[in-house]
Amino acid sequence: MSNEVIQMTDVSVAYNGTPVLDSINFSLDVGEFCYVIGRTGAGKSSFLKLIYKDVNPTKGLVKVADFDLSNLADKKIPYLRRRLGVVFQDFQLLPDRNVFDNVAFALRVTGQKKRFIKQRVIEVLGLVGLSHKRKAMPDDLSGGEKQRVVIARALANEPRLLLADEPTGNLDPEASASIMELLHQINNRGMSVLMVTHDYEVIRKFPNRTVQIENGSLQDIKVL
Amino acid sequence: MSVGYVLKEGFAGLGRARLAALTSMFSLFIAVLLIGVLFRLGYNAYEVTQMLNQQVEVEVFLDDMNSTDTQLMEERLMENSGITGLTYISKDSAAQVFQQEFGTGGEAIAELDFLPASFRLSISEEYSVAQVDSLVQEINTYEGVNEVRFNMALLQMIESRTETLFIVGGAIGIFILLVAMILVFNTIRLTIYAKRDLIKAMKLVGATNAFIRRPFLVEGVLQGIIAGGVAAGVIYSLFHWAIPYFMPQIGVLSWPFGRWYYLISGVVVLAIFLGWWGSRWAARKFIKDMGVSS
């Protein structure tokens, strides 16, 4: 098994002939935490989509969690995604089922046994501090709590890598800080975290490796 | 794969996007109702033409001949595969028939004993007018046959009406089926579109496309059962109660193949098939093309 959970070599992405990412190189080690910053439209989301294979590179090599995405058949994409946890800014919780079922859903759709599902959901809800809210409906939760449920769902399948697309974007500073603490706690348990953000305050408060996407290229930077 | 989960989701899906599910069921209902009614009417019309066809008889008038020759003639006629039965009408019987048809006024003429003996032939329903005509030509050549008569105009009319009925009925049936398929496909696609967030979330956590499709197939089958059940109820009520009550003169027509449950179960099965097929078609296309990002 490679020590790198993500490996990109000379990767380009274009939409209808317009380049978004141009010959970028990037790698993320197992257990590493990395921020991705850049202006709106710079290609941050495309960068994440490359990793969970929602877009294909126009050229270059992408390897994620031991999957070679360049040759990955469409049928194999679900198996790649089971190795990733994805957290979006807009939560994407299912409003018609409670917290427990929202998390259990990730395990049910991958065909896990009922007993295991119950045990694992209780475990991850405990990890994000929401065991007591397992019967609550999403509409009854605060923004921070919703994001915790999404993180719990992302962790349910014990992924190797957590991708977070502006997870604090819709949250107040206090909830934001608590989500960042949770992400670092998860990272400390050995999981790699790749987080897209444009909140420099968050980066200053929780410093980690940071890469910037600008004009189609990607480079490591220091945020002061 | 959890069968329980797929069934539970399939049932729950009906309640989650109620309007889309109702639209889908309504299209299915209308489609199978029209096809069911059309089939029943078409079948009854076909039955009527068959009945009329059976009533067309060929009459073979004979020269004067003894009973042995009459027996030989009967055997010769029965050798033809198109003749399903025959009745011999002797000269005496012919006189009686004449008297019955003309009443007492015909007695004087009947006594003249000029009426010939004849055979009344029943012709196979599957025989076309041309075949009957050629049979008549052949019988005409038999020794001892004086004349062969049959109502060619009536037969031709029945044949042409049956043909028209099949062409028009078949075309309408195929048209309704095609429209129904497109309608069902589109409404089920709407149902699936209404659940795009659920599909995206499923894809995001690593559900396979086949797994995502399964609850939609269950839902499609359920919609088919409900729509087919309601359509079957309407068809049964229409032909069992409403038409015999309001139009008793045509209410005596039978159900296709003699039993009500053939058509009723056919309608339900067709609705289930359309629901399943529409969901499968729409789900395959839509789920495959859908990305996971907002």
| A54 to B211: CB separation less than 8 angstroms, yes or no | no
CATH number at residue A199: 3.40.50.300
Q: What is the pLDDT of residue B109?
A: 57
A78 with A38, same domain?
yes
Residue A36 and residue A24 in one domain: yes
Using an 8 Å CB-CB cutoff, list chain A residues near B206: 78-82, 106, 109-110, 157
Report pLDDT for A34.
Answer: 96
pLDDT tens for B163-205 read: 888 898 889 888 888 887 787 788 778 877 888 888 888 888 8
- Give A13 to chain B, closest Cα distance, Å: 16
Same domain flag for A175 and A135: no
Select the residue from A46, A108, A124, A170 to test the B interface by mutation, using most B Cβ atoms within 10 A. Answer: A108
pLDDT at B92 over 80: no
3 state DSSP class of B231: helix
User: Do A114 and A174 lie in a common domain?
Assistant: no
Of B205, B208, B293, which is closest to A153 when you measure between CB atoms? B205
| A169 and A64 belong to one structural domain | yes
Q: Chain A partners of B205 at a C-beta cutoff of 8 Å?
A: 81-82, 105-106, 109-110, 153, 156-157
The predicted pLDDT at position B241 comes to 85
Tens of pLDDT, residues B145-154: 888 888 777 7
Q: b/e for B87-111, b at 16 or more Cβ within 10 A? A: ebbeeeebbeeebeeeeeeeeeebe
A-B CB pairs within 8 A amount to 60
Residue B255's pLDDT band (cuts 50, 70, 90): confident
Confidence label for A153 from pLDDT (cuts 50, 70 and 90): very high
Model confidence at A208: pLDDT above 80: yes
- Give the tens place of pLDDT for each residue, B263-293: 999 999 999 999 998 888 888 888 888 877 6
**A18-27, B147-156, B235-244, range with greatest mean pLDDT:** A18-27
CA distance A38 to B39: 66
Beta strands in chain B (DSSP E): 57-62, 83-89, 118-123, 145-149
If asked whether residues A18 and A67 sit together in one domain, one would say yes
Question: Is residue A145 domain-shared with residue A196, that is, in the same domain?
Answer: no
Provide the token pair at A106. 């990730």
Residues of chain B with CATH 3.30.70.3040: 57-150
Same domain? A135 vs A169: no
pLDDT at A136: 95
Same domain membership, residue A146 and residue A132: yes
The total number of structural domains that make up chain A = 2
Across the interface, whether the CB atoms of A109 and B204 are under 8 A apart is answered: no
Determine whether the interchain pair A108/B291 forms a contact, defined as Cβ–Cβ distance below 8 Å. Answer: no
- Are B203 and A81 an interchain contact pair (Cβ–Cβ within 8 Å)? yes
| Yes or no, beta carbons of B206 and A110 under 8 Å apart | yes
- Assess whether A136 and A152 both reside in one domain: yes
Q: What ipTM score was computed for the predicted complex, to two decimals?
A: 0.84
Are A3 and A78 in a shared domain? yes
pLDDT band at B237 (very low <50, low <70, confident <90, very high): very high
- Report pLDDT for B291: 77
pLDDT value for B190: 80
**Contact state of A82 with B200 under an 8 Å Cβ cutoff:** no
Q: How far apart are CA B77 and CA B142, in angstroms?
A: 9
Contact check, Cβ <8 Å, B204/A81: yes
Same domain? A105 vs A183 = no
Strands B57-62 and A18-29: unpaired
Q: What percent of chain B clears pLDDT 90, i.e. is strictly above it?
A: 11
Which chain A residue's Cα is nearest to B203?
A78
Minimum distance, in Å, between the CA of residue A224 and any CA atom of chain B: 32
The residue with tokens 């994620």 is: A64
pLDDT of residue A112: 86
| Cβ neighbours of B208 in A, within 8 Å | 75, 78
Angle between helices B3-16 and B18-55 (to 10 degrees): 90
Span A124-149, pLDDT tens digits: 999 999 999 999 999 999 988 999 99
Query: B293–A54: do the CB atoms touch at under 8 Å?
Result: yes
Domain containing residue A1: 1-83+161-224
Q: Which of A158, A183, A206 is the last residue of a domain?
A: A158
B57-150: CATH architecture: 2-Layer Sandwich (3.30)
Q: Which residue has the higher pLDDT, B3 or A23?
A: A23
Residue with tokens 């995206």: B200
Instruction: Measure the CA–CA gap between A179 and A176, rounded to whole angstroms.
Output: 5
Q: What is the mean pLDDT of residues B53-69?
A: 83
Contact A54 B292 (CB under 8 A): yes
